[in-house]
Amino acid sequence: MKKFIEIDPFATQLVAARKRAKLLCQQLNALGADQHKARRPIYQALFGKVTKAYIEPNFFCDYGSNIFLGDSFYANHNCVILDAGEVHIGDRVMFGPQVQIYATTHSLDPIERASGKELCAAIVIGDDCWIGGGAIILAGVTIGKGSVIGAGSVVTQDIPEGVVAVGNPCRVIKNCR
């Protein structure tokens, strides 16, 4: 069972943190494709951890500080990471265009949902994964190292290492080797 943490997104410090992240994302997205050196300080200011990364425009996140990127991370165009919960991405991970990572969700109960509280749970993507274009990864999911997630998949549960998984909901269809 996934462990969700409840947060109040209207808390003053969270509102300020989101505003800071939005401004950094705007700066990042305004840079030219050849401005590699100018990207690094923005990555350093935005993310909880980053060594070597390249993120195509446009990129959007809620906080940035809850995103921990491994070495040689690549994200194609229009990546969205909602990081109210921590998002840990391993080394040499590649995202296709329009990949969406949602470490936050809302209660299924309409009365609880109306309170404005959010639920969040960490997402972990292991080393050497490839996440196909348009894939959506939901809160609390772990994807094992070396796995491939097919384009357009919706990942609602953990995926073991070294497999190809596709579909909605995402299911393992074969081993990578």
Residues belonging to the active site: 106
Contacts of 33 (CB under 8 A, 6+ apart): 56, 57
SS3 155: strand
One DSSP character per residue, 64-118 reads STTEEE-TTEEE-SSEEEE-SS-EEE-TT-EE-TT-EEE-EE--SSHHHHHTT-E
Residue 59 dihedral angles phi and psi, to the nearest 5°: -125, 140
Across the strands, what pairs with 154?
136
Distance CA 26, CA 146 (A): 32
Cα–Cα distances in angstroms (integers) from residue 145 to residues 90, 112, 133, 142, 171, in the given order: 8, 36, 18, 9, 16
